[in-house]
Amino acid sequence: MSGDEKNKSARHTADKKFFILMAIVLVCFSFSPPQAGAATNWLEKAKLLASDGAASDWFGYSVSISGDYAIVGTEQISRSVTGKAYIFKWDGTNWVQQQKLLASDGAAGDQFGYSVSISGDYAIVGARGSDGNVIGSGAAYIFKRDGTTWSEQAKLTALDGADSDEFGYSVSISGDFAIVGAYGDDDNGDYSGSAYIFKRDGTNWVQQVKLTASDGAAEDCFGYSVSISTDYAIVGAMDDDDKGDYSGSAYIFRWDGTSWSQQTKLLASDGAADDWFGSSVSISGDYAIVGADGDDDKGILSGSACIFKRDGTNWIEQQKLTASDGAAGDNFGYSVSISGDLAIAGAVQYGYGSSCIGKAYIFRWDGTSWSQQTKLLASDGAAGDVFGCSVAISGDFAIVGAFGDDDKGSDSGSAYIFNKFCPKADLNGDCKVDFTDLAIFADSWLYGTD
């Protein structure tokens, strides 16, 4: 055998040994148990607490996340407090409280922080009990980031606001648009509901349109939940009756560059009475998710969520999501969020003697279907924490609120941030190491260059 042939044979022998070693490593990784305190492929990165947290703050009642920033709101129902919200920033190592937000004209009973949303350099905070144009009509506040400081830029109120409209009950912001729900509005009957879209003009936010359902009726609660993403907005009407009392619905609106118009009404294909479809909503690009935490597929109040995909001007129900371990009283879908190919749903476990510990589930679109990727639990979860009362997802981070946590006093509340963990040996981008990755490696080894 020539020297070149010997070298080539030795090299292939080394390659084979390396291949066998990698195969062993991949198989070991495939069946290794998750790390302590971690859900598969998602690690609990931080537990957020308010620097000045106190009993009954309900910190974590509302949450939102965008890039390196997260916002957490409180639900302080006491008439003696105004409410607050907190901004946290990821510094590359830790999530650090950057600022506490307060309304410049805050007053007792405003419930500032009841709803929150963040997008880029802007955040919006709902204050459902605030005095807008009239006493008790509600308001929302826009904050803008300048360096490390967040400053109040505008107070939003409805031009036709009235007492008990609940303006600010739900909020969402994306780019130059913000949407505010007012499910107590009465244009189409008591609690028929409405939502308002505001557009940024320089440093001003101007009411652009008032949305109501084309078939709105009394007690539909249109505006109970809202979400906006670029040119599309979704509004939930959890008490709509198309498929039975309180079966629920959601409406998609589209911005055509000039005006907002209703594009479609969403209903669950198997909707039924008391499903509360539309109690939570989220929209991102061509996908929307709608929670129905009263659905009974896995027992009374086990809950579900439906994902819809845009096809031209139509939105088609793509898949119904339920928890792999769903059970009666879980209230899966109480909160939902969607971003890219990931969706998250909270299950607060309110009903039928449940513990209210709570949990959340992450689903991933693999090009064919949405599959449950992991179940999230708080590493120190306890009865009454209500983990999953609020959820949000953005990129590699997810945030889950737990307003009943007691670290700083009874019901002081907390929020947990989870980080998607992808092992280096993951070769197909699903954040798992399995035989698919082994096949990719083998294909590369067999047909790659020497």
pLDDT tens profile 275-312: 999 999 999 999 999 999 999 999 999 999 999 999 99
Sheet harboring 194-201: ordered strands across?
A: 170-174, 177-182, 194-201, 204-211
| CA-based nearest residue to 74, from 419, 335, 330, 405 | 405
Question: Looking at this protein, which amino acid is placed at residue 207?
Answer: Q
Higher-confidence position of 447 and 162: 162
Q: At 30, is the pLDDT very low, low, confident or very high (cuts 50, 70, 90)?
A: very low
pLDDT at site 369: 96
Question: Looking at this protein, which amino acid is placed at residue 436?
Answer: T
Question: 415: Cβ–Cβ under 8 A, 6 or more apart, which residues?
Answer: 47, 48, 59, 60, 63, 70, 72, 390, 399, 400, 401, 402
Asked if pLDDT for residue 229 goes beyond 50, the answer is yes
Q: At 210, is the pLDDT very low, low, confident or very high (cuts 50, 70, 90)?
A: very high
Work out the average pLDDT over 423-443. Answer: 64
pLDDT at site 8: 46
Work out the average pLDDT over 111-139. Answer: 94
3-state secondary structure of 30: helix
pLDDT at site 81: 75
As a whole number of angstroms, the distance between CA 193 and CA 180 comes to 11
What's the number of CA atoms in the CB half-sphere (13 Å) around residue 380?
Answer: 12
As a whole number of angstroms, the distance between CA 76 and CA 66 comes to 24
CB 142 within 8 A of CB 178: yes
Higher-confidence position of 148 and 23: 148
Asked if pLDDT for residue 1 goes beyond 60, the answer is no
CB atoms inside a 10 Å sphere around CB 14: 10
pLDDT at site 190: 97
Asked if pLDDT for residue 209 goes beyond 70, the answer is yes
Query: Can you give the pTM of this predicted structure?
Result: 0.88
Asked if pLDDT for residue 447 goes beyond 90, the answer is no
In angstroms, what CA-CA distances link 294 with 236, 275, 407, 422? 14, 4, 30, 34
Place of tokens 């204050």: 127
As a whole number of angstroms, the distance between CA 57 and CA 64 comes to 18
CB 84 within 8 A of CB 101: yes
pLDDT at site 425: 64
Asked if pLDDT for residue 90 goes beyond 90, the answer is yes
Work out the average pLDDT over 105-120. Answer: 95
In tens, the pLDDT along 260-275 reads 999 999 999 999 999 9
Work out the average pLDDT over 22-33. Answer: 46
pLDDT at site 134: 85
The CATH code of domain 42-420 reads 2.130.10.130
Question: Looking at this protein, which amino acid is placed at residue 443?
Answer: D
pLDDT at site 443: 65
Asked if pLDDT for residue 381 goes beyond 70, the answer is yes
How do the domains of the chain map onto residue ranges?
1-38+429-450, 42-420
To the nearest whole number, what is the mean pLDDT of the chain?
89
DSSP code at position 3: H
Question: Looking at this protein, which amino acid is placed at residue 117?
Answer: S
Q: At 355, is the pLDDT very low, low, confident or very high (cuts 50, 70, 90)?
A: confident
As a whole number of angstroms, the distance between CA 74 and CA 414 comes to 10
Chain Cα centroid distance, residue 276: 18
